[in-house]
């Protein structure tokens, strides 16, 4: 087992990436290869950044990048909703909730790393 697999935020980010792999399959052809590809790529990038953030040396910087990419992902999810790429509103709703959960966990971890309790 890798050193990051027990992290709650890593598990949630992996759930998010796995969910996006599944829902993008149901996008129409145009959105699958445009917005869907962006969603899947960002989710994978976020997962890797979180795994790397488990090492103390670059944690704050990597969590900052994760937070930026999560905000970008929220924007793309909203674009996909407007483009009617999701096959149901429920898929969009679950997607957004997953991103917000990972975002909150990353923000909390970053804040804890910046201002550790003594």
**2-25 burial: b if 16+ Cβ within 10 Å, else e:** eebeebebbebbbebbeebeebbe
- Rounded CA-CA distance 37/84 in Å is 15
Looking at CATH, the fold of the domain delimited by 8-114 is given as de novo design (two linked rop proteins) (1.20.1440)
Question: What is the token pair recorded at 49?
Answer: 């950044």
- What mean pLDDT is reported for the chain? 95
Give me the pLDDT at residue 4, please: 83
Domain regions of the chain by residue span? 8-114
Tokens of 67: 């937070």
pTM: 0.93
Residue 118 clears pLDDT 90, i.e. is over it? no
Kindly report, residue by residue over 68-114, the tens digit of the pLDDT. Answer: 999 999 999 999 999 999 999 999 999 999 999 999 999 999 999 99
Whether residue 10 has pLDDT greater than 80:
yes
The pLDDT value given to residue 5: 82
Q: What is the mean pLDDT of residues 59-71?
A: 97
């Amino acid at each position: 087992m890798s050193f990051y697999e027990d992290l709650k935020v890593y598990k949630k980010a992996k759930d998010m990436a796995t969910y996006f792999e599944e829902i993008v399959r149901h996008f129409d052809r145009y959105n699958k290869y445009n917005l869907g590809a962006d969603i899947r790529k960002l989710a994978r990038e976020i997962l890797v950044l979180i795994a790397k953030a488990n090492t103390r040396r670059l944690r704050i910087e990597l969590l900052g990048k994760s937070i930026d990419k999560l905000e970008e992902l929220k924007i793309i999810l909203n674009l996909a909703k407007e483009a009617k790429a999701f096959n149901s509103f429920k898929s969009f709703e679950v997607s957004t909730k997953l991103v917000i959960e990972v975002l909150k966990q990353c923000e909390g971890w970053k804040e804890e790393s910046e201002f550790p309790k003594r």
